[in-house]
Amino acid sequence: MRLEYFRLIDRILEFDPVGRTIRAEAVVPTESPIFEGHFPGHPLMPGVMLLETMAQASGWLIIGLTRFNRMPFLAAFKEAKLRSFVTPGQTLIATAKLTHEGSGFAVTESEIVVEGKRVCNADITFRLVDFPSPQFRTGMREVGVAIAFPMEAVANG
Amino acid sequence: MSSTFDTVANIITETCDIPRDKITPESHAINDLGIDSLDFLDIAFAIDKTFGIKMPLEQWTQEVNEGKATTDQYFVLQNLCARIDELVAAKTAVKL
């Protein structure tokens, strides 16, 4: 997890295009300038970063289901709940399930589990658009490879 | 069984906090009711779920952008409801 670059997902553990689910791992770094301010002497993973982690897990799910043909952009969170503190060094397991595929938008349910305990969950809406440029799509594919997204599952895209 | 319009009007009221009595079949969702694109996503989500359809919003938007259709054809509620009824009928026909 590279908090300062908003690169939050470290590894895709499972992508199920039939069940329309994804499971991803994200390890909170032990050190980051963010923890110097949030909070001094009491470092906590900011809640907005937990929301972003769920959004990114959902985003990889949607990118995979659309075979890297549509780019999801975050539009809305609903029923977002931050249930427990998350601290440096903890391993997050983020899961997402596509609950609705509309025309130009998609909705997921996502949650993060730490050591078997759910720490947050939300319903998330995305707008789906064509990739703004071929370079953008190529860049996302490169990131996908770096985080072990199963490219063979979307090979025909 | 409530009409398509009643169902859609209730969805709009619940989603956008617009008083039910301000919503008429002649209302334009954008120009009269002030529904923005994000709220319309919520409405589309609820309509898709309620009627078991997938409203082709991207196709409609493209037609409007290309001048092949007006927003009235899709966003005046009585017209929107007619489109919904067509989609429901098409879905039913496929199943038969």
Does CATH number 3.10.129.10 belong to domain A8-30+42-149?
Answer: yes
**Active site (annotated) includes residue A38:** yes
State the average pLDDT for chain A. 96
C-beta atoms of B58 and A125 within 8 A: no
User: How far apart (Å, rounded) are the C-alpha atoms in residues A110 and A89?
Assistant: 21
CATH number, position B34: 1.10.1200.10
Per-residue model confidence (pLDDT) at position B46: 96
Tell whether B65 is within 8 A of chain A (Cβ).
no
* Residue B92, min C-alpha distance to chain A (Å): 19
Of the candidates A104, A107, A125, which has its C-beta nearest B58's C-beta?
A104
Per-residue model confidence (pLDDT) at position A102: 97
Average pLDDT over residues B22-36: 96
Per-residue model confidence (pLDDT) at position A147: 97
Per-residue model confidence (pLDDT) at position B87: 96
Residues ≥6 apart with Cβ < 8 Å to B72: B28, B79
C-beta atoms of A100 and B49 within 8 A: yes
3-state helix, strand, coil in chain B (%, to 5): 65, 0, 30
Cβ A105 vs Cβ A126: under 8 Å: yes
Nearest to A61 by CA among A25, A26, A129, A12: A12
For residue B53, what are the domain limits?
Answer: 4-95
Average pLDDT over residues A63-71: 96
Chain A residues touching residue B36 (CB < 8 angstroms): none
Instruction: Decide if pLDDT at A114 tops 90.
Output: yes
C-beta atoms of A127 and B61 within 8 A: no
At B43-92, the pLDDT tens digits run 999 999 999 999 999 999 999 999 999 999 999 999 999 999 999 999 88
Per-residue model confidence (pLDDT) at position A140: 96
Chain B residues touching residue A75 (CB < 8 angstroms): 38, 41
C-beta atoms of A103 and B45 within 8 A: no
| Number of folded domains that form chain B | 1
Average pLDDT over residues A105-133: 97
User: How far apart (Å, rounded) are the C-alpha atoms in residues B29 and B44?
Assistant: 12
Average pLDDT over residues B28-36: 95
**Domain spans of chain A?**
8-30+42-149
Instruction: Decide if pLDDT at A99 tops 80.
Output: yes
Q: How far is CA B96 from the centre of its chain?
A: 25
Instruction: Decide if pLDDT at A2 tops 80.
Output: yes
Name the active-site residue from A16, A17, A29, A38.
A38
C-beta atoms of B42 and A101 within 8 A: no
N- to C-terminal Cα distance for chain A?
27
Average pLDDT over residues A92-117: 97
Per-residue model confidence (pLDDT) at position A153: 87
Q: How far is CA A13 from the centre of its chain?
A: 12
Chain B residues touching residue A99 (CB < 8 angstroms): none
Compute how many other C-beta atoms are within 10 angstroms of the C-beta atom of residue A134: 8
pLDDT bucket at B96, cuts 50 / 70 / 90: low
- A-facing residues of B in 38-57 (CB < 8 A) are 38, 41-42, 44-45, 48-49, 54-57
* Residue B57, min C-alpha distance to chain A (Å): 5
Q: How many residues does chain B have?
A: 96
Nearest to A29 by CA among A82, A83, A91, A84: A91
Average pLDDT over residues A2-21: 96
Alpha helical stretches, state H, B23-70: 37-51, 57-65
pTM > 0.80: yes or no: yes
pLDDT bucket at A156, cuts 50 / 70 / 90: low
C-beta atoms of B48 and A102 within 8 A: yes
- Distant-in-sequence contacts of B15-18, Cβ < 8 A, 24+ apart: B15/B39, B15/B42, B15/B43, B15/B46, B16/B42, B16/B43
Tell whether A125 is within 8 A of chain B (Cβ).
yes
Region of residue B61 (phi > 0: left; psi between -120 and 50: alpha; otherwise: beta): alpha
